[in-house]
């Protein structure tokens, strides 16, 4: 059969995403264009490569075998293309980032707007997510997470200084109830908890006492994956919530929230921009790192 490298590239993205719409978004084309390319490739091969349903896409046995064979080559080609851009020395292209929703400093408008203004040929594609996954396998250039959860084989650059988590509530809640003097007393309070996804257990609140860390499995009255909703509920006096100090700091300064249990909330290493350990980072990523270092 005639070799169609464009079709091979499209198939590789479909195999990675397992979703035609997601593949189309990543490739910057229409869903129908992706579907037609895969259909022509199947006709040329004389074998079905994907199984389509109304909700998902899975690979057939032939598709799995083909993807297993071409995946390393596709990865090598992507790396080669990225490294080829180093010859121009000019930051350009799409920069895909996976960023924790609570990385307040990085996600601030001025920081990202300043980078975009300084590098008009770079477009930012930012996925805000708290799921943990392999950024390389998912096609991201870099990610931003707390340092403690970054894989050891990654290069990490500090985004800001040390961070800490705080328990907070509204003054109205504090005035109506006796706020806890120890984290163990949280079980008797109305708590606003967080979890990353519907299938995950609520996050256990982390504290430290006499240099020893411990976690408290509070029974949340409210549970959500949205920090903005947690803050709204806390400000409304619905209960005590827990999260990064930077998320609460503006409301604490305005008197809308008050910190509690501060003596049990130590500082720890904060957020880092991390990326795969390759010989050379592409100019677009190098530019972001330099912008980050200047801002710090």
Cα distance between residue 131 and residue 128, in whole Å = 9
HSE of 283, CA atoms in CB hemisphere, 13 A: 15
Whether pTM exceeds 0.75: no
Chain position carrying tokens 């249990």: 261
Beta strand 271-276 with 122-128: parallel, antiparallel or unpaired?
A: unpaired
Rg for the chain, CA atoms, rounded:
23
What does the pLDDT profile of the chain (296 residues) look like in tens digits? 567 888 998 999 999 988 898 888 888 899 899 999 999 999 988 899 998 876 678 999 999 999 999 988 888 887 777 666 655 678 888 999 999 988 888 888 889 999 999 999 999 999 998 888 888 888 899 999 988 778 878 888 888 888 899 999 999 999 999 899 999 999 999 999 998 888 888 889 999 999 899 999 998 999 998 889 999 999 999 999 999 998 999 999 999 999 999 999 999 888 999 998 765 678 899 999 999 988 77
């Amino acid at each position: 059969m005639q070799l169609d490298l464009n079709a091979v590239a499209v198939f590789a993205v479909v195999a990675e995403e397992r979703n035609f719409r997601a593949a189309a978004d990543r490739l910057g084309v229409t869903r129908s264009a992706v579907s037609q390319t895969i259909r022509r490739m199947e006709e040329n091969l004389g074998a079905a490569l994907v199984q389509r349903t109304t909700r998902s896409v899975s690979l057939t046995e032939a598709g799995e075998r083909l993807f297993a064979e071409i995946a390393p080559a596709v990865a090598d080609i992507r790396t080669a293309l990225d490294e080829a851009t180093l010859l121009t020395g000019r930051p350009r292209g799409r920069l895909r980032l996976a960023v924790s929703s609570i990385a307040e400093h990085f996600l601030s408008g001025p920081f990202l707007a300043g980078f975009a203004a300084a590098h008009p040929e770079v477009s930012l594609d930012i996925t805000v997510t708290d799921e943990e996954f392999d950024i390389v396998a998912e096609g991201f250039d870099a990610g931003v997470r707390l340092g403690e959860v970054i894989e050891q084989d990654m290069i990490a650059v500090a985004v800001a200084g040390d961070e800490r988590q705080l328990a907070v509530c509204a003054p109205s809640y504090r005035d109506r109830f006796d706020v806890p003097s120890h984290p163990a007393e949280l079980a008797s309070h109305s708590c606003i908890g967080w979890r990353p996804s519907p299938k995950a257990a609520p996050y256990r609140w982390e504290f430290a006492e006499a240099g020893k860390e411990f976690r408290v499995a509070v029974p949340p009255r409210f549970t959500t994956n949205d920090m903005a909703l947690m803050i709204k509920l806390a400000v409304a006096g619905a209960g005590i919530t827990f999260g990064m100090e930077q998320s609460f700091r503006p409301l604490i300064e305005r008197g809308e929230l008050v910190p509690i249990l501060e003596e049990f909330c130590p500082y720890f290493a904060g957020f880092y921009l991390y990326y795969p350990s390759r010989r050379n980072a592409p100019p677009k990523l190098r530019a972001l790192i330099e912008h980050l270092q200047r801002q710090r």
